[in-house]
Structure 1
Amino acid sequence: MSGQRVDRRRFLRGATVGATVVSVAGAGAYAASATDEKRAAVPSANSRSTAATFRWFGTAGWRIDVGSRTLLVDPYLSRYDTGMYTGSFDPTTELTVDTGTVDRHVGKPETVLVTHSHWDHFNDVPYIARKTGARVIGTMTTYNLALASEVPSDRVGLVKGGEVLDFGAYTVEVIASLHSRNAAYSVALPGVRLTRPDKPRTVADLPEGDTLAYHVTVKNGPSVFFMGGSDFVERNVTGLSPDIAMIAMQASDSTHAYAERIITALGKPSVVVPVHWDNFEIGLTNPPKPDPDVKPHLDAFVATVRKISPRTKVVVPRYLTPYRFV
């Protein structure tokens, strides 16, 4: 498919969060949420809360620091050019890691949660795991791709959905979920890896491989829902009632009433943070540059949340900016 022109609306990219939100540094956000973020920057009355700091890596990526312990979700910092935003997406693009950028921002993670195995979620994970010794948690496809990428087998955890993992300072509930669908009602780069493949070398070697979501609860702190694709199994998330929801933005209207359904199913969280709406093939420069195909959906999502859940704070994040949700 090298050089083949691809309509981004047909190439689905998806991705992903009662508490008060406190922006710790550099609050300003994308214009759609500047007012909400300013309103949100108020002190918490919850004196029992454990401090947890959240930094957005772009796409669906997050760094969460709970005291001295660090957890990552879908950390993709290399952000190289595949031609996606110039209309010539090339799935034979070689996988590369911007080690300098990754090293500057990931800290010393002990756990890496992977929602699915597309390159904009998994690309940097093997490097991070090998260098830091972090444990990787993900699907069978993520498991086999990690092994193929020389991550030691005792540092890879296979999950399917339904597991509740106890890490002491936080717990992780694994939720069986769905990847986004494009305007053709299809999933980009589909496929699974049920056995260990050859070492992945190109973007095409990293298929979706089933999709998970994660519900992370900080001990004596907030509960946070993380998505990596803009679709979900409504029955699987109903009743979770997270304080904060990192919600992936859709790039098409193929999923029925997406915003209404996800916000309602999650119990109208106190804070909603839309993610995976940025152009992830350029650097981490603020303010983030929206993906032009996703921006209308982002605007509509924010408007819908404000309409159906007026008490919910909507915070459209900036790259690498520390936020506290307490």
Structure 2
Amino acid sequence: MVGKRVDRRRFLRGATVGATVATAAATGAYGAPASGERPKARRAGGTSTAVTFRWFGTAGWRIDIGSRTLLVDPYLSRYDTGLFRGAFDPATELTVDTATVGENVGRPETVLVTHAHWDHFNDVPYIARTTGARVIGTMTTCNLALASDVPSGRLGLVKGGEVLDFGDYTVEVVASLHSRNAAYSVGLPGVRLTRPDKPRTVADLPEGDTLAYQVTVKGGPSVFFMGGSDFVERNVAGLSPDVAMIAMQASDATHAYAERIVTALGRPSVIVPVHWDDFETPLTNPPKPDPQVEPHLDAFVSTVRKVSPRSEIVLPSYLTPYHFA
């Protein structure tokens, strides 16, 4: 990247010992707001907001809105498929780390799924069966959930364009796109238009189309969530979220990705890069970066600083409570 390289690990260490994002910025964080503007993102504690966000790694989040819990792409099992050793095995059996899942998901009432790849969907059926949560997602997501013994009454099929009212918050569904690799292709493509056999391996969970979601809390922030590092520019124009959880790309196949997504979203006040970690390692801070994504993350930050200098860039730690005011 052009200019001084950011010490990501130093920032993450600062975040885990209780520094606010503002003071972490002074130690080499990805960026405080310009002109001394008050930071809009702070770790939990010292704030009256009732909304708390915790990153599960990859594109996964837990959002607590008062006593209500909402999950996005909750993947906590993080088992080895060989992906980060250059020996990816699509025949890897699907497994659920029930202890880690149970310890961290709370009692969710809703689970939003961006797409059906294992690092987004793997734990969803178990969560739905054990907590009674409703699962929102594509036709593929819903059919795979049915095949995984989630009752049909707990499934919400969406395509994009829906605005769902949950009382304390709304969810706008946005038709989106999955990341492209260096070959301009999508890994594990495919859809499931009917209920398949019960999925047993990673290969049994195809992408199945991709969604994004904008969650707007009544009296609180509007937050945009991505699960793949591509998007339909016309679909996100005008959303103007306060906070954007933006997935990092692992290739340059998507033209001017950082500049286009940040601009189309209206230059959010807070930008949180996600899906940049090695999600086959334990949930231990500081997160281990995906070596293929790491240089793109640096480039993304550099671009955001130029395109949206007033945006605060927050690189999250695992399971750390954050408030966005």
Is the TM value for this pair above 0.5? yes
Equivalent runs, 1:280-295 vs 2, <5 Å = 280-295=279-294
Q: Deviations over 1:86-120 (max 9, x none)?
A: 11100000000000000000000000000000000
Whole-angstrom CA distance in 2 between matches of 1:223 and 1:246: 11
C-alpha separation in 2, matches of 1:147 and 1:66? 28
Corresponding residue for 2:316? 317
Number of residue equivalences: 301
2: distance between equivalents of 1:127 and 1:32? 39
With over 3 angstroms needed to count, the CA separation of the structure-2 counterparts of 1:187 and 1:42, relative to structure 1, is: closer
Which 4+ runs in 1 deviate beyond 6 A?
Answer: 28-32
Q: Secondary structure of 1:109's partner? A: coil
The alpha-carbon deviation at position 40 of structure 1 amounts to 3.4
CA distance in 2, matches of 1:151, 1:238: 34
Given that residues 32 and 311 in structure 2 are in contact (C-alpha distance below 8 angstroms), is that contact kept between their aligned partners in structure 1? no
- Structure 2: runs of 5+ lacking an equivalent: 1-14, 43-47
- Counterpart pick for 1:33 among 18, 23, 29: 29
Letter in 1 for 2:293: V
Which amino acid in structure 2 is aligned with residue 260 of structure 1?
Answer: E
- Aligned equivalents of 2:19, 2:195: Cα separation in 1: 43
Matches within 5 A, 1:1-326: 25=18, 27=20, 33=29, 36=32, 40=39, 50-326=49-325
Please report the RMSD computed on the Cα atoms of aligned residues, expressed in angstroms.
2.3
Q: Tell whether the 8 Å contact from 2:30 to 2:313 is kept in structure 1 after alignment.
A: no
The CA distance in 2 between the partners of 1:115 and 1:223, in whole Å, is 17
Whole-angstrom distance in 1 between the partners of 2:60 and 2:220: 21
Corresponding residue SS for 1:137: strand
Paired residue type of 1:201: R
SS in 2 for 1:131: helix
- Local SS of the residue matching 2:109: strand
Matched AA of 2:179: S
- SS of aligned partner of 2:175: strand
Classify the secondary structure of the residue corresponding to 1:62.
strand
Deviations 1:55-91 (A, max 9, x none): 0000000000000000000000000000011111000
Distance 1:145 1:111, change over 3 A: same
Q: Determine if contact 1:23/1:323 at 8 Å carries over to the other structure.
A: no
How far, CA to CA, are the matches of 1:136 and 1:54 in structure 2? 19
- TM-score, reference length from structure 2: 0.88
- Deviation string 1:253-286 (CA, Å, 9 cap, x unpaired) is 0000000000000000000000000000000000
CA distance in 2, matches of 1:295, 1:307: 19
**Alpha-carbon distance in 1 for matches of 2:137, 2:221:** 23
Counterpart for residue 6 of structure 1: none
Q: Secondary structure at the match of 2:156?
A: strand
CA contact 1:50–1:66 (8 Å) conserved in 2: no
Paired letter, 1:249? M
Superposed displacement of residue 287, structure 1: 0.4
Q: What is the CA-CA distance between 1:32 and the residue it aligns to?
A: 6.5
> Hey, what does 1:46 align to over in structure 2?
none
Answer whether contact 2:223 2:242 (CA < 8 A) is retained.
Answer: yes
* Aligned partners of 2:114 and 2:212 also within 8 Å: yes
8 Å Cα contact 1:139/1:159 also seen in 2: yes
* Preserved contact between residue 24 and residue 322 of structure 1 (Cα < 8 Å): no
Give the drift of 1:35.
5.3
Amino acid of the residue matched to residue 163 of structure 1? E
**Structure 2 counterpart of 1:134, one-letter code:** A
2:41·2:323 contact (CA, 8 Å) conserved in 1?
Answer: no
Identity of aligned residues (%): 79
Greater RCO structure (CA 8 Å; 6+ sep) = 1
TM-score (norm 1): 0.88
1:71–1:110 CA contact under 8 A, matched in 2? yes
Query: How far apart are residue 308 of structure 1 and its match?
Result: 1.0
Seen in structure 2, the aligned counterparts of structure 1 residues 25 and 163 have a Cα distance that, compared at 3 Å, is farther
Give the C-alpha shift of residue 33 in structure 1. 2.9
